[in-house]
Amino acid sequence: MARSVLRFAAPFIATLSLALLLVLPAASDAAASSAIAASPASSDDIVLVEGATYRARLKLSFLQCLASRDRIGKKLDRGGFSGVRVFMSARELPPDWPAPFRARAGGCERYAEGVWARSSTPRKRPSSIESWWVARPAPGP
């Protein structure tokens, strides 16, 4: 009996494992690659400015929503942001978060904020970012 259960469960477990390997890194990589762009315009090309604080409303698929706050935050840290905060719902957002960007985008609510800690650099907007803007410009000289 144990063999028949194992024979039935093995393909399911293998499929689930493969799906998680493909989906979970995609959620965090998408959020980290160039997570936040410089304005709420629809342009795909942006310039991240060193020292500026950026905010974004993420647009993730249902399965990508399985990525934890910590995992998304670590990917953003490795992607060049510091002081990263990830918000899992609109209820967690700071009061000054713009009202038009409080609704969910994609399969779940995910929002991010962080300071671009690397030198200013152009980036392409990933499809996992629905809206993006500068929350606070970089301090002047």
pLDDT tens-digit profile of 67-96?
A: 999 988 998 899 899 999 999 999 999 999
Of 112 and 60, which is predicted with more confidence? 112
> pLDDT value at position 112?
95
- Amino acid (one-letter) located at 46: I
Contacts of 128 (CB under 8 A, 6+ apart): 27, 30, 31, 35, 58, 59, 60, 64, 106
CA pair distance 104, 69, nearest whole angstrom: 16
Q: DSSP secondary-structure letter at 51?
A: T
Contacts of 67 (CB under 8 A, 6+ apart): 24, 27, 28, 31, 60
pLDDT at 1 over 60: no
Mean pLDDT for all residues in the chain: 73
pLDDT at 40 over 50: no
- Amino acid (one-letter) located at 63: L
Average pLDDT over residues 50-64: 89
3-state helix, strand, coil in the chain (%, to 5): 35, 30, 35
Q: Max CA-CA distance within the chain? A: 73
